[in-house]
Structure 1
Amino acid sequence: MARSPIITVSRGRFSSTPSQVLEQVRAAGRASRDEVAAASGLSIATVGRTVAQLVELGLVRERPDLARPGATGRPGVPIEIDADRYLTIGFHVGRRIATVALGDLTGRVLTSQTVRRPLGAEPDLEELSRVAAALLGAHPGRVPLAAGLVAPWRELDLVPTDRETEVHELTGLPVRTGDHISAVAASEFLHRRHGTGGLTLYLYARDTIGWAVAVDRGVQTDVTRAASLTHFPTASDVPCPCGRTGCLAATVSTLPDAARARLLGQVAGSVRDMLSPDRVVLVGQAFTGDPGLLDEITAAYAAHSALAQQVPVSFTRFGADIQAISACTVALGPVLDDPLACVEAGGMCRRGA
């Protein structure tokens, strides 16, 4: 059965106990056992046993040097993700370039390398795996736990499950795939948006244009399948390769910077009206590449709406690293789903190397 295109960024109480504890610690950055218990609803005894297991496996580490003044016993000792023992491998395949990245278990990118690829060519995943192996060579002692593979699948006319199988065969690791725009949205949410309930709309514009939404239900947060805006109508007379005129991607490529900024802002306003989200985040270099045009975009966004209530808009903090970050974010999926199984698989991979 094909895996759902939805990316789960917060698993909540539906996940295993190790997954819940690891996710709470990752989200908080650093937390004591009693804080994890309070946030997750698990008993302090259950959290204590699970933390001991995760510490033994090297997934989290204790920080007694940062214990609260006056705290006694283990429950008051902070724990954090151990960012020095394991890593993930992220592969991002774009239209003209591919990116290979290594990330730690907090989602931070440790290193990355871009590889030029011919437009329209099949992705050479064997070559990208060799690049990953070379990057791993600069991090001796680190154990890879999982891999993520991200691409604009429809634009490249690729089947993600086929490529997932290929990466697994090349690396021996659990592999998770994600659509590029959905992965970007998941990265934004995972790194910045804790506690933001409801629906967050993410609009992405660079080589591809589209949107995805994060739906926070309180107990679980998912990023839905991405929707393309490539052929969104603009009423221009610019011809598009599809045979029509006025499609968004074809139109923005012909406009001066200020006009392009206004059009993208207007489109963001239109999509906001269709979905009525709680907040909007604009992502991708077409939105963020020129800081001098951000006010132009937000003004067009605010003016182009029929909603009575304004919906707040913000810009991503991720710039040119977003391809590496999104791939490493997707690679965290198997680890957060089942951290114990990933450690076992990583150990087997290392023994077989």
Structure 2
Amino acid sequence: MHVRTTTTTLRPAKTPAHAKRALLSRHHIVAPSLCVADAAAASVFNAARARGPIARDVIAKVTQLSIATVNRQVTALLDAGVLRERADLAVSGAIGRPRVPVEVNHEPFLTLGIHIGARTTSIVATDLFGRTLDVVETPTPRGPQEAALASLAHSARRYLSRWHRRRPLWVGVATGGVVDSATGYLNHSRLGWSDAPVGPVIAESLGLPVSVASHVDAMAGAELLLGGRRGPQSSTSLYVYARETAGYALSIGGKVHSPASGPGTIAGLPVNSELLGGTGQLESTVSDEAVLIAARKKRIIPAEGPGSTMAAVLRAARQGNEDARALLAERARVLGEAVALLRYMLNPDDLVVGGQAFTEYPEGMELVEAAYRKRSMLPPRDIRVTSFGNRVQEAGAGVVSLGGIYADPIGAMRRALTRRPEATA
């Protein structure tokens, strides 16, 4: 009896940190890999993804790996199931397997991306090339945090149940707020979530590895890994996002810079616009909500109801409403000046803008660029609009679900295919 009492008194109480570690030991929470990986298996897989069907000797040339290394990695990737051989495309008269091209074995698999927006959540199915197979949108759950997370996980699980012919491998969550990528926990003041176990709850429901990332980091990762542009590995890229929120991300040397304490914010960047509310801060000036409030005051759209939307403001501007055009021109000016200020501070090699504040009204990009040039204090550098247009949120969520596979395809497949039986029921 005495021994039992002693043992009990020495056992530490479970703190919140202990509780998180217990959840992590039970679930597959994996920090997102938003980078161009240079490990041998990743290099071989990504060569096949970019150029396949591709022969092993060509892989050796483009990756600068030895042919022996390429052969070993191809064999391992074939065994893992992420590559397949194309004997039908073998060079006529060639002898031996090394001349049999390989390609990504994309048809049996999918990954699941979830973008949690302030108003809308997108759930997207993506193949191993990063192509969107399907996407659905649903209102972001409101109400108590625990119930909202349960509703979100239920929606994701119900969506996955539709895919009978593809095996899900990974879940990627992209969201605003402050993300702890190591644990999958989230603080999101606009949703009223505090220390919310987003990753663990989804992992518990789906039985899959889960990665959680800041949504602007995720969008920058999509440009890096799926955008089709390949700059020097030493280059830097600034990604500026605006829609309902405003944010930025910086990629350095082929990797999205993700501070351990969470991304920085440009929400409070000083701006000046009486027309869009006069708050003096970037996010509350250029957000969709700021434009809608101003449009209602100007009676461009009704005060409430189905016609009181950004789509209605855009439609009014395109139909010649001068007040609507003035509001959108003002937002373009403020955005252009903000981009110039960020570029002045960070001076990146590449400058990308994304989010519906830029892409939903392409007529305004000339005004963004004019304001940017006027405010710039550095030599000219072009602004590039995101490769993904209005699909940038789903591309960001998709790349979070794929990053682990692209960085370590063999290890990722081993982890992904170790699923709890009860989660597959």
Instruction: Specify the alignment match of 2:413 in structure 1.
Output: 343
Q: Which residue identity does 1:10 align to in structure 2?
A: V
Question: 1:330, CA displacement in angstroms?
Answer: 0.4
Question: 1:273, CA displacement in angstroms?
Answer: 0.9
Q: Does 1:293 align with 2:293?
A: no
Instruction: Specify the alignment match of 2:284 in structure 1.
Output: 250
Cα–Cα, structure 1 residues 263 and 5, in superposed 2: closer, same or farther, change >3 Å? farther
Alignment partner of 1:227: what SS?
A: coil
RMSD (Å) for aligned C-alpha atoms:
2.9
Cα–Cα, structure 1 residues 69 and 188, in superposed 2: closer, same or farther, change >3 Å? farther
Q: Does 1:147 align with 2:171?
A: yes
Question: 1:30, CA displacement in angstroms?
Answer: 4.4
Cα–Cα, structure 1 residues 184 and 121, in superposed 2: closer, same or farther, change >3 Å? farther
Question: 1:161, CA displacement in angstroms?
Answer: 8.0
Instruction: Specify the alignment match of 1:92 in structure 2.
Output: 115
- The correspondence for 1:78, drawn from 101, 117, 120, is 101
Instruction: Specify the alignment match of 1:215 in structure 2.
Output: 252
Q: Does 1:49 align with 2:81?
A: no
Q: TM-score, normalised by structure 1?
A: 0.86
Whether the aligned pair in 2 keeps the contact of 1:61 and 1:79 (CA below 8 Å) is yes
Alignment partner of 1:321: what SS?
A: helix
Q: Where in structure 1 are there 5+ consecutive unaligned residues? A: none
Q: Does 1:134 align with 2:158?
A: yes
Q: Does 1:319 align with 2:345?
A: no
Question: Equivalents in 1 of 2:389, 2:349: separation in Å?
Answer: 24
Question: Equivalents in 2 of 1:144, 1:119: separation in Å?
Answer: 27
Q: Does 1:39 align with 2:76?
A: no
Q: Which residue identity does 1:325 align to in structure 2?
A: A
Question: Equivalents in 1 of 2:158, 2:125: separation in Å?
Answer: 11
- Please identify which structure carries the higher strand content: 1
Question: Equivalents in 1 of 2:331, 2:285: separation in Å?
Answer: 9
Instruction: Specify the alignment match of 2:188 in structure 1.
Output: 156
Instruction: Specify the alignment match of 1:262 in structure 2.
Output: 333
Question: Equivalents in 2 of 1:314, 1:229: separation in Å?
Answer: 19
Q: Which residue identity does 2:223 align to in structure 1?
A: E
Question: 1:166, CA displacement in angstroms?
Answer: 2.1
Question: Equivalents in 1 of 2:75, 2:222: separation in Å?
Answer: 29
> CA deviation digits over 1:207-255, x for unaligned, max 9?
1111111112xxx533445432211101345898xxx941112223247
Aligned length: 343
Alignment partner of 1:214: what SS?
A: strand
Question: 1:175, CA displacement in angstroms?
Answer: 1.3
> CA deviation digits over 1:99-128, x for unaligned, max 9?
212111111121121121356753733333
Write out aligned runs for 1:157-172 (5 A): 157=189, 158=193, 162-172=197-207
Question: Equivalents in 1 of 2:215, 2:52: separation in Å?
Answer: 26
Range with greater deviation from structure 2 (315-324 or 177-186): 315-324
Question: Equivalents in 1 of 2:244, 2:142: separation in Å?
Answer: 12
- The correspondence for 1:279, drawn from 336, 350, 364, is 350
Cα–Cα, structure 1 residues 79 and 173, in superposed 2: closer, same or farther, change >3 Å? same
Q: Where in structure 2 are there 5+ consecutive unaligned residues? A: 1-20, 179-186, 295-325
Question: Equivalents in 2 of 1:36, 1:195: separation in Å?
Answer: 17
Question: Equivalents in 2 of 1:76, 1:284: separation in Å?
Answer: 44
Question: Equivalents in 2 of 1:31, 1:47: separation in Å?
Answer: 12
Q: TM-score, normalised by structure 2?
A: 0.72
Cα–Cα, structure 1 residues 121 and 109, in superposed 2: closer, same or farther, change >3 Å? farther
Cα–Cα, structure 1 residues 223 and 60, in superposed 2: closer, same or farther, change >3 Å? farther
Question: Equivalents in 1 of 2:94, 2:236: separation in Å?
Answer: 39
Question: Equivalents in 2 of 1:119, 1:18: separation in Å?
Answer: 42
Instruction: Specify the alignment match of 2:44 in structure 1.
Output: 21
Question: Equivalents in 1 of 2:406, 2:158: separation in Å?
Answer: 26
Cα–Cα, structure 1 residues 159 and 48, in superposed 2: closer, same or farther, change >3 Å? farther
Question: 1:194, CA displacement in angstroms?
Answer: 4.0
Whether the aligned pair in 1 keeps the contact of 2:32 and 2:212 (CA below 8 Å) is no
Alignment partner of 1:61: what SS?
A: strand
Whether the aligned pair in 1 keeps the contact of 2:113 and 2:394 (CA below 8 Å) is yes
Range with greater deviation from structure 2 (266-275 or 291-300): 291-300
Whether the aligned pair in 1 keeps the contact of 2:227 and 2:387 (CA below 8 Å) is no
Larger radius of gyration: 2
Q: Alignment identity in percent?
A: 32
Question: Equivalents in 1 of 2:217, 2:337: separation in Å?
Answer: 22
Cα–Cα, structure 1 residues 341 and 118, in superposed 2: closer, same or farther, change >3 Å? closer
Instruction: Specify the alignment match of 2:145 in structure 1.
Output: 122
Q: Which residue identity does 1:247 align to in structure 2?
A: Q
Question: 1:257, CA displacement in angstroms?
Answer: 0.6
Whether the aligned pair in 2 keeps the contact of 1:19 and 1:338 (CA below 8 Å) is yes
